Structure 1
């Protein structure tokens, strides 16, 4: 397949953009609805769990250098059982691409173009990301470097001018949550976005130096940024408004007015969200294609990418509306992701250690 290597900066940008890009828009409202004024604390324990899980993924990658999670499955479990695990991971990457595509369609239809069929958004965006997937990880990484700077500048602009509506009184009643109950009701934060970072086990072979430090640092930065975004949303909108809006950050942008010159900036923030979705979807889409190519020994990505675009576009229409999508994520996303992010990696790691401890000694290693 590819021999390209990612730089440390590119790997950091890809990881952090994947984690925070869409969660900035979709997570704060649901967290605030449950945890109220203390919602900013929830990403902190979600990120902590993500860091602990990443140690397992990094340990597994260190035991099998140069191999993706699909290749590790077939190496450790054999062609039969390992192939089943590899297909499970590929199906998970495809399903993740479906979720991201559906989030795009829901956002565009609900906020900007309500009369446009959702399939139009899906097909147009999958065409763009499909082209990036065909060109390879190097193209995706370079695009992410450029888009990351634009997104960062835009978010700083929003935070700076949004602070004019900040009110500390909106935090009255803080630090009264029931930790265990809140953790149970907001368990989806573990799955989205932190456990989804398991997908980078497909990209670990492309980063040769400082992989562990860079990956963990990106998770830490993403955790802090998501916590600050949630805090910012509470301070600007308040608990009641923020918990009733599907996209609270978008609402904040709608209400930013700088004289009579800067108004109606929501179309600009929509473009930034599209850039964030492009990065995340490109990574998930690319890993789906790469996994299929590695498992079935395909040498060209073109036809696989084309076929998957049709599959993803169709599956993205599975839910009737955004409410069903949100409810599924709230109730099942954590349990669904747990299988791929913890159970199977721990099983692969355990089998790897067992095989190495009970590996038969060669003639030169046998005792006299």
Structure 2
């Protein structure tokens, strides 16, 4: 296992970039299409549900400090069943990497380079990610620590400029949504981004201290920022336009004009997207590579990282178009990730309690 160490601040930035980055680009329009003018409340309650569910794997890690989820699986359920569960987790990390890669490819092909084959975007970006992963989690955390302030400043700049298009009339009809009727429809928001945060458990062994505080704080800030982002999008674009735009934030940037100086800023937002995709994909890809190394006791992860490029790039072509990708995310992703983020951790936690109960009975002579 890698001997790297990262500070609580670096882990917080990693977690925040992982959770907030791509969801800020790909989630806003979908949330607004379901909850309309009340959509800004959706990230708040879905974030609360996500944090409550995350307490399951946080509790699990307290019994096995210094171990990743792969190592915990083997310790709890043995090399046979535990190894199989660990392999399922690795498979999910690989699939998550493919989903993130496909999001990047769809964005670039639809908005910037429609004549370029989508595979070109996938392979070129995965080569950069592969290099970052081979350098280790410390390199990824330092890169994120350097890049994240740039992204934050750019977002704030866009926010203040776009406020000139703000119209409070676009919020007419607020507080009329039946929350209970939208719970089922908004379950995908719980899955992406909040339940996806369980991948960060793979980084817990490298954090020096204050892991739980940094993790929960990153989830809270993600929920608040997503709520502000949805509120901002409704105020600038309105519910109807935001609902019909796949990349609502990109549309806002396209329409920013300040004289003849600030025009055509979509290339800037594309660069920001590349940065946040780098943060999230590097973590997901690292989890897959590190999981394989830990499960099969591989010391050199370079060849594994290179080999996964072809697998991830191939899996990212599993959808014929972006509509299939969006349908999977909205209708099936919650049930899919629920297995890895809730059911399997609960199973491991119950097995841990059973083993501890047997050990206590042996200790008292029963």
TM-score by shorter chain over 0.5:
yes
The 5 A counterparts of 1:261-340 are 261-340=261-340
| Partner in structure 2 of residue 74 of structure 1 | 74
Instruction: Report how far residue 361 of structure 1 moved.
Output: 6.2
Q: 1:80 to 1:214 in 2, by over 3 A?
A: same
Instruction: Report how far residue 366 of structure 1 moved.
Output: 5.0
The 5 A counterparts of 1:110-149 are 110-149=110-149
Q: Provide Cα deviations, 1:285-304, integer angstroms capped at 9, x if missing partner.
A: 00000000000000111110
CA RMSD across the alignment? 1.0
Q: 1:28 to 1:366 in 2, by over 3 A?
A: closer
The answer to whether the 8 A contact 1:42-1:183 is kept is no
Give the whole-Å Cα distance in 1 for the aligned partners of 2:303 and 2:239: 48
The answer to whether the 8 A contact 1:68-1:202 is kept is yes
Q: Secondary structure at the match of 1:184?
A: coil
Give the whole-Å Cα distance in 2 for the aligned partners of 1:295 and 1:9: 29
Q: Provide Cα deviations, 1:278-319, integer angstroms capped at 9, x if missing partner.
A: 000000000000000000000111110011111000111111
Instruction: Report how far residue 350 of structure 1 moved.
Output: 1.0
| Partner in structure 2 of residue 49 of structure 1 | 49
Instruction: Report how far residue 208 of structure 1 moved.
Output: 2.7
Whether 2:187 is the aligned partner of 1:183: answer: no
5+ unaligned residues in a row in structure 1: which ranges?
Answer: none
5+ unaligned residues in a row in structure 2: which ranges?
Answer: none
| Partner in structure 2 of residue 104 of structure 1 | 104
The answer to whether the 8 A contact 1:32-1:39 is kept is yes
Q: Secondary structure at the match of 2:184?
A: helix
The answer to whether the 8 A contact 1:23-1:193 is kept is yes
**More displaced stretch, 23-32 vs 48-57:** 48-57
| Partner in structure 2 of residue 167 of structure 1 | 167
Q: Provide Cα deviations, 1:238-291, integer angstroms capped at 9, x if missing partner.
A: 000000000000000001111111100000110000000000000000000000
The answer to whether the 8 A contact 1:22-1:273 is kept is yes
| Partner in structure 1 of residue 87 of structure 2 | 87
The runs of 4+ residues in structure 1 deviating greater than 4 Å are none
**More displaced stretch, 177-186 vs 242-251:** 177-186
Give the whole-Å Cα distance in 2 for the aligned partners of 1:154 and 1:54: 30
Instruction: Report how far residue 360 of structure 1 moved.
Output: 5.9
Instruction: Report how far residue 132 of structure 1 moved.
Output: 0.2
Give the whole-Å Cα distance in 2 for the aligned partners of 1:225 and 1:95: 27
| Partner in structure 1 of residue 214 of structure 2 | 214
Give the whole-Å Cα distance in 2 for the aligned partners of 1:31 and 1:49: 16
| Partner in structure 2 of residue 155 of structure 1 | 155
| Partner in structure 2 of residue 24 of structure 1 | 24
Q: 1:360 to 1:238 in 2, by over 3 A?
A: closer
Instruction: Report how far residue 147 of structure 1 moved.
Output: 1.0
Whether 2:8 is the aligned partner of 1:8: answer: yes
The answer to whether the 8 A contact 1:20-1:193 is kept is yes
Give the whole-Å Cα distance in 2 for the aligned partners of 1:361 and 1:238: 63
The answer to whether the 8 A contact 1:97-1:284 is kept is yes
Give the whole-Å Cα distance in 1 for the aligned partners of 2:360 and 2:188: 44
**More displaced stretch, 45-54 vs 321-330:** 45-54
Instruction: Report how far residue 49 of structure 1 moved.
Output: 1.1
